[in-house]
Amino acid sequence: MRSPSAGPSGLPGRGEVPDEGGSLQGSAWVGEEAPPGMCYEVWLWLDDAVDAEVLEDWKARKAALSTEMRDAGIRGSRKKLGDLENELAQCFESCVAGVLRRSVGCCALRTRAGDMARGFEAVPGAVVYGWDVEPNFVRIWLELSGECGVDSLIDGWKEALPDVAWSPVCHVRGLSGRDCAAALRRLSAAMMEAGVANGSGTVSAAEAGPEFRHVTVLLEESVDALLPAEGKVIVDATLGGGGHSELLLERGATVWGIDQDPSARRAACERLARFGSRFRVLAGNFRNAGAMLREQGVEAVDGVLADIGISSHQVDTPERGFSFREDGPLDMRMNPESARSAAVLVNEASEAQIADWLWKYGEERASRSIARAIVKARESAPIETTRQLASIIEGVLPRHGKQHPATRSFQALRIAVNDELGALECLLESGVSLLKAGGRMAVISFHSLEDRAIKQFFDKVSRPEVDRPEWPEPRPNPEYCARLVNRKPILPSEAELARNPRARSAKLRVIEKVSPR
């Protein structure tokens, strides 16, 4: 194993092998160069970490796919072989990865990370570029450097911890040097974020990346609506830069912040570190807010806040691909780890599907013409940048007035990429179910599609009775559980609009839980 203090080709390392009795979650190269050759990602887990039935299904599927891959290799069908390799990886992730973190009776591997690292050092035949040690599974990224194969290496590593009950089944997949480097950078970023969130480390300006800038909208109005006080627990489902959370914490509340954007979480962790354990951050999409909090043992809360939409930082960072003001990659993913970007949508979706997104999410009247132009343009070359797409749209809709003709289309694609309306629907349902009696939910929206969904949901849960023309009299509403705190949305003040023109379309709606649902 190469020493973590000096990576391949001069790459800087992250982490060191701990002294006896120490622990280390992982070590990963964080440089720009990729490993030069073919790499492997190896998963080892404890014997009880995976449900036996799931494990058997995985073994059977792996055996069948391995046979198909062997036949494809014999025939020299590289495309078929690549497709099967991807299918094998997806099968593993869907069948096994979701249960790897469940509790097991064996010792936690994380406390044995030092022993594992020394095992990598002792067994020759590989360059180990990085590893990730969790309580009941280990991932290792490596390149072979000798005659022995991966199976021999795995046997040697398991022998380094002979008192651990390892599962007889492991998972190995081949990676290009570039993919290996990308996986290790993701691990390094996760380690950095965990260090900030837990107060166990610091992040330099170089590590943290561009400064996270976001102007909080309707700050006082939304915080006042939630009635924060000492002892109350409030969920900030759209943490962002932490502006709302900061004021909630200053007024004595305990805050759980949720965000899928790692740069937002890092910025908020730095900003709110002074509040100690009263501030906790969770990584994920707010559509899963209820499940995420219950995993942390939080069954009910006093308030839920959501500031729906895109942040100023995302708009102002060309590399995120949300805006056409500056050229950048056509991305638009709020979670950079998500699988499909805007480029994937515009280059792979059908003309009918693109037109449907533009009409449904952007209310774009020229949706069919724009979709037709996009499909025609991509036949010549892939559409990869924001300026490319904006120019195509401008060719269909010449500019009139202040609004750029691509504005509605970019909004529509962003909503489609992130499934924003589907996520909002899940948040509203789970948020209401999380609230205690007397708890409040405050939601800020920025365009009519969001506001309409919020208004309709709040109306549905705040009507004690429902009536229909064919009924002789109104009936009790089974969805009833809340009251409207404000019948009309709260809008930004003139003073706020003067400070922040981007707040002009913001609307705040609030409900209060009155009974169980």
Which residues participate in the annotated binding site for S-adenosyl-L-methionine?
Answer: 242-244, 259, 286, 307, 314
Going by DSSP bridges, is the β-strand pair 279-283/254-259 parallel, antiparallel, or unpaired?
parallel
How far is the C-alpha of 305 from the C-alpha of 425, rounded, in Å? 14
Angle value at C-alpha 325, between 407 and 381, nearest 5 degrees: 80
DSSP for residue 254: E
Structure token digits, residue 79:
């495309």
Structure token digits, residue 207:
């590590």
Residue that has been written with the tokens 């809340």 in this structure: 482
Binding-site positions read 242-244, 259, 286, 307, 314
302 and 231 in contact (C-beta within 8 Å)?
A: no
How far is the C-alpha of 298 from the C-alpha of 290, rounded, in Å? 9
28 and 142 in contact (C-beta within 8 Å)?
A: no
Q: Show the 3-state SS of 369-405.
A: HHHHHHHHHHHHCCCCEHHHHHHHHHHHCCCCCCCCC
Query: Residue 325: enclosing H or E segment and its boundaries?
Result: none
Largest Cα–Cα distance of the chain, in whole Å?
84
How far is the C-alpha of 124 from the C-alpha of 467, rounded, in Å? 76
101 and 138 in contact (C-beta within 8 Å)?
A: no
Phi-psi region of 104 (alpha: psi -120 to 50; beta: other; left: phi over 0): beta
* CA-wise closest residue to 209 among 260, 269, 263, 261: 263
* CA-wise closest residue to 196 among 286, 285, 259, 271: 271
